[in-house]
Amino acid sequence: MAIHKLATGPITLTVTAVEQSEGNFGPQVRFDGASGDCVFISEMSAARQLARLNLTMESVVGKTIHFEQIKKDGKTFVNMSLSSGGATPAATPSAAPAYTAAPKQTIAELAGIYSECVSFAMATLGAKCEEAGIPIDAAAIQSAAATLFIKGTR
């Protein structure tokens, strides 16, 4: 089994096992791949990236994940993304991801979606806050509705 260092390049693994461990740099998560390679990333980065992908330590097993390091504003970050292909060899330069634009929606369609988001935000957040005796204002409803709208229209 080869330990792949993300500093040498990205790797794509079909995850067969995930394990938390204590490394030289603090808590880490080890992702084992079907190819026999494994990648260690910090526990905090793993948690953040898995949450971003709507995955857990259990549900990521069996998924094909692309791991890479990104440099932004002088800092290095680990990035994970779902991949549809098989494992790529270690240190293969990554190509720019291909994004497809979502079909255009009219303002009326978007307004209808946003209206639904506001209704759901009021019915969930508003009702829960009211039950708990927590004051709620329009900004909180707007924020909750915007979160739903953004997630729903991506």
Q: Report which secondary-structure segment, H or E, holds 29.
A: strand 26-33
Which pair of structure tokens corresponds to residue 92? 């293969």
Q: Digits of tens for pLDDT over the chain (154 positions)?
A: 688 888 899 999 999 999 998 877 789 999 999 888 999 999 999 999 999 999 998 999 999 999 999 988 889 899 999 987 544 444 444 444 444 445 677 888 888 888 888 888 888 887 888 888 888 888 888 888 888 888 777 7
Q: What tokens were used for 18?
A: 């995930």
CB 55 within 8 A of CB 63: yes
How far, in Å, CA of 152 to CA of 119, rounded? Answer: 14
CA separation for the pair 114, 128 (Å, rounded): 20
What pLDDT score does 17 carry? Answer: 93
Note the pLDDT of residue 96.
Answer: 43
Which residues, other chains included, contact 148 with Cβ-Cβ below 8 Å and sequence gap of 6+?
A: 117, 120, 121
- As to burial, measured by CB atoms within 10 angstroms (0-12 exposed, 13-18 middle, 19+ buried), residue 134 is exposed
Domain spanning 2-82: CATH 2.40.30: no
β pairing state of 37-42 and 2-4:
parallel
pTM greater than 0.85: no
Quick one: CA dihedral 96, 97, 98, 102, positive or negative?
Answer: negative
- Tokens representing residue 109 in the block: 């369609």
